[in-house]
Amino acid sequence: MTITSFHPTPRTLMGPGPSDVSPRVLSALGRPTIGHLDPEFIGMMDEVKELLKYAFQTTNEFTIAVSAPGSAGMETCFVNLVEPGEKVIVCVNGVFGSRMVENVERLGGIAVVVEDQWGHPVDCDKVTAAFKANPDAKFLAFVHAETSTGALSDAKTLCQIARDNDALSIVDAVTSLGGVELRVDDWGIDAIYSGSQKCLSCVPGISPVSFGPRAVAKLEQRDSKVQSWFLDQTLVMGYWSGKGKRSYHHTAPVNSLYALHESLLMLQQEGLENAWARHAKQHQALKAGLTELGIEFIVDEAYRLPQLNTVKIPAGVDDAAVRATLLNEFNLEIGAGLGVLAGKAWRIGLMGYAARSENVALCLAALKSALK
């Protein structure tokens, strides 16, 4: 076998992630690599922190980019905050809520599961009831935008319930950051994580994380050692904070952080609320076209994510065959259903750079052709 340089076929990415990456971000990725302790790189890291604060709408000093994908961002929050024997109310309305349960249990914590139907938001009344039944719960964990279903939950109300019960909130914003309204400080979110490859339209492999003052205090007052050395934020703080010299912790993904810097700069230049409006506008265009094709949405419009559209596969249609046609004939990727929606749904992403009129037009034309 002769192996040559790899040149992937250019695709239009309209699945659940990764999303399309803009030429500006790809260009940033190819800039000269410098050392991860180089003063210039440290200066760029400080700018990444400020840009992330803007994206999250927070003044949290501990706002960083974890050198690993969103799943590691999830684990970063849980492994640093939850100690053995502590009770966590975990909301499960899709795949990623279930992963939160896994994190709690592997840490020796006690998961109190609040379950809702897939495609529905977290029921705030159920959460209130769970706290009444478990007044010793230390945390509330939930997914703001459930990627497996396309349902948006009421993060502001859920975080208030946590505060009313003297509990810390841990929020999954992997699919929501940059795509829909998200206000960390105004909503009282204690710990939050996201991913670079969704609405930020950056390359995969980085997880933005922000800890508020209550979460930082919990971390600093732990009775036990953080179980993961790499994700122990008491060690990472010395690399991401402080003036001048930084303490070495790991070799950061230098070029990927260039790309994240550029994608966050693009978000700031567009304006956060403009980005939210753009996602909503393109969703409406997609919705109109899908309706004409007789394709129905799974999630009710009241809590439907504009950037992650989960739709029913029409009766008699071969799921895999249609997605293969889109990929092979149109170089277009959409996502399959996960979990209970496997084989029953498609997930069409309109995230970040992918939320453009030409992408919507391509998707609708390609689906129309494939469904014939």
Whether the model clears a pTM of 0.95, i.e. scores above it, the answer is yes
- Residue 246 — pLDDT band, cuts 50, 70, 90? confident
Phi/psi region, residue 222 (left: phi>0; alpha: psi -120 to 50; beta: rest), is beta
Q: Which domains does the chain have, with CATH numbers?
A: 12-18+272-371 (3.90.1150.10), 23-268 (3.40.640.10)
Q: What number is the average pLDDT over the span 276-297?
A: 98
Phi/psi region, residue 54 (left: phi>0; alpha: psi -120 to 50; beta: rest), is alpha
Strand partners, 333: 13
Q: Cα angle vertex 114, ends 312, 142, to 5°? A: 75
pLDDT tens digits, 304-344: 999 999 999 999 999 999 999 999 999 999 999 999 999 99
Amino acid found at 169: S
Mean confidence (pLDDT) of the chain: 96
pLDDT for position 242: 63
Say how many CA atoms lie within 13 Å of 131 toward its Cβ.
21
The tokens for 345 are 């749904």
Task: Report the alpha-carbon distance of residue 26 to residue 210 in Å, rounded.
Answer: 25
pLDDT tens digits, 1-33: 999 999 999 999 999 999 999 999 999 999 999
Closest CA to 313 of 326, 323, 304: 323
pLDDT tens digits, 89-139: 999 999 999 999 999 999 999 999 999 999 999 999 999 999 999 999 999
